[in-house]
Amino acid sequence: MTDLLAARSQMAISLGFHILFAVAGMAMPLFMVVAEWRHLRTGDAVYRELAQRWAKGTAILFAVGAVSGTVLSFELGLLWPRFMEHAGPLVGLPFSLEGFAFFLEAIFLGVYLYGWDRVAPRVHLLSGVAVAISGVVSGVFVTAVNSWMNTPTGFRLEDGEIVDVNVWAAFFSPAFPTQATHMVLAAYTSVAFIVLGIHAWGLRQEPGSRFHQRAFGIVFLAALVGTPLQVVSGDFAAKHLASHQPTKLAAAEALFETQAGAPLILGGWPDVGTREIHFAIEVPQLLSVLATGDPAGTVLGLEEFPEELWPPVPIVHVAFQVMVACGVVMLLFVLWGATLWWRRRRAASWVDRRFLGAAMLVAPLGLIALEAGWVVTEVGRQPWIVRGFMKTADAVTPMPGLIVPMTAFTLLYLVLGVVVVAMLKAHVFQVSPEGEPARAEAAAEERP
């Protein structure tokens, strides 16, 4: 393995690990706030217990996310020094703002965790709202950096040096609106699906559990709202790629030749040598509709660009297909759930064992789509680290032996992953023998 591949692999593993905790930090606070709000509105102790359990999970995931995020920040400087040397003045603002949002999130999370019965209920609820807002804002600021790497703006080059830096133009790069929106919705939907699967498993074990029923209702609503919006944002993202990142779109669709009325490719394996795609299903003109809004619109193919500037087409295409397939299944699932709710809304429970079983099966699809989407974003930009200005090979550190830290950090992440699962199981998902949270039952007994 070359040092360049080792550096890229280490960054990919670190980002793939960290993003799981980053999206949890964006989405979980909203769920715990909704649960507490329902408790304050109804007086139902189960909602309070649910908010406390989710808050514990948020704290555990936040702590690990803080560690893995710190590792990523060091890796940027140690593995990619030339990138930070040239891009630092342009990406420093969003990174600084992200740090500020992170500190706010940590402060208010502390208030939320230890403020139960110590501060006024509304103050406690507002501290949770602050955690939810800070988590989302933090993610948006980091996305602004990646957006700039995909569509760099806010500077000009003079004799190989960056001059006339405009940090706000760099912050609001062309990719920022669609990428930030897509990322926020991906966070809510992916986390909603994994939490939905956990509580579906709980309901399969204890069908009468009010704890899991309440939790299932909250996160299913988030999935029901977020999934269709994610599909819509994906449509805007496709149009953005067609306008600003045509190479990435062509690689994602394995479109080798420029076509008017280009078909959408489903599945298949691209053969770069023959510039053909095998075993694929074509939907006539649909790619032109998605990319341009016109069935006869022209979509640029890879032939328009030098082959040495093509990203790894098979990787990008397969990742894109995985992301889209997961999104379609998730959309069908929430539509099925909405239909069940409409038909059985007057019943005591609108879910059945088949639907709960399906919820368990589709639970990981959101996170799989999330990881696949980042593969499309990052690998689809290659060979550039900053598209059109700096190649990845030119930004890597000259330090040799990079496979050693890559191996060490991979093992560290594996250990951390096991620890996180164990902690979540011990502190968040424990239940009483009857299937209801023990503290919720005790609190309910104390109510007059």
- 423 within 8 A of 60, measured Cβ to Cβ: yes
Q: What is the pLDDT of residues 149-203, one digit of tens each?
A: 999 998 888 877 788 888 899 899 999 999 999 999 999 999 999 999 999 998 8
Q: What is the distance between the alpha carbons of residues 37 and 159, in angstroms, rounded to a whole number?
A: 58
Q: What is the pLDDT of residues 2-39, one digit of tens each?
A: 889 998 998 899 899 889 989 998 999 999 999 999 99
DSSP letter at 348 equals S
Average pLDDT over residues 355-373: 93
Q: How far is CA 96 from CA 3, 135, 167, in A?
A: 30, 15, 12
Confidence of residue 429 (pLDDT cuts 50, 70, 90): low
pLDDT at 371 over 90: yes
pLDDT of residue 444: 44
Q: What is the pLDDT of residues 323-353, one digit of tens each?
A: 999 999 999 999 999 998 888 766 656 778 8
Residues 6+ apart with CB under 8 A from 328: none
- Cα-trace Rg, the chain: 23
Structure tokens at 73: 């920040």
Q: How far is CA 353 from CA 201, 356, 358, in A?
A: 10, 5, 9
Q: How far is CA 186 from CA 211, 223, 229, 302, in A?
A: 26, 10, 10, 28
pLDDT at 312 over 90: yes
* Mean of the per-residue pLDDT values of the chain: 87
Residues 6+ apart with CB under 8 A from 26: 135, 136, 138, 139, 184, 187, 188, 191
Cis peptide, bond prior to residue 364, ω within 30 of zero: no
Going 122 to 126 to 127 to 128, the CA torsion angle's sign is positive
Q: What is the dihedral of CA 126, 104, 11, 394, to 10 degrees?
A: 130
Q: What is the pLDDT of residues 248-258, one digit of tens each?
A: 999 999 999 99
- Helix 81-114 and helix 121-150: axis angle, to 10°? 170
pLDDT of residue 369: 94
Which of 275-289, 357-371, 398-412: highest mean pLDDT? 357-371
Q: What is the pLDDT of residues 218-249, one digit of tens each?
A: 999 999 999 999 999 988 888 899 889 999 99
pLDDT of residue 159: 76
pLDDT of residue 323: 93
Q: What percent of the chain has pLDDT over 90?
A: 46
Q: What is the distance between the alpha carbons of residues 158 and 389, in angstroms, rounded to a whole number?
A: 12
Q: What is the pLDDT of residues 53-96, one digit of tens each?
A: 999 888 888 888 888 888 888 888 888 988 888 888 888 888 88
Helix, strand or coil, per DSSP, at residue 198: helix
Q: In this predicted structure, which of 81-90, 310-319, 405-414, 427-436 has the lowest mean pLDDT?
A: 427-436
224 or 409, which is more confident?
A: 224
What is the DSSP code string of 2-44?
-HHHHHHHHHHHHHHHHHHHHHHHHHHHHHHHHHHHHHHHH--
- 152 within 8 A of 173, measured Cβ to Cβ: yes
Nearest to 322 by CA among 242, 246, 379, 258: 379
pLDDT of residue 422: 84
Q: What is the distance between the alpha carbons of residues 217 and 364, in angstroms, rounded to a whole number?
A: 18
Q: How far is CA 405 from CA 183, 212, 369, 402, 410, in A?
A: 29, 42, 28, 6, 8
pLDDT of residue 63: 86
pLDDT at 273 over 50: yes
pLDDT of residue 405: 84
Nearest to 49 by CA among 396, 363, 430, 434: 430
- 65 within 8 A of 248, measured Cβ to Cβ: no
pLDDT at 357 over 70: yes
Q: Where are the domains of the chain?
A: 3-243+315-446
Q: What is the distance between the alpha carbons of residues 134 and 427, in angstroms, rounded to a whole number?
A: 24
pTM of the model: 0.88
pLDDT at 443 over 50: no
- 115 within 8 A of 124, measured Cβ to Cβ: yes
pLDDT of residue 60: 87
Tell me how far apart the terminal alpha carbons of the chain are, to the nearest angstrom.
Answer: 68
Confidence of residue 428 (pLDDT cuts 50, 70, 90): low
- Looking at the chain, how many residues does it have? 448
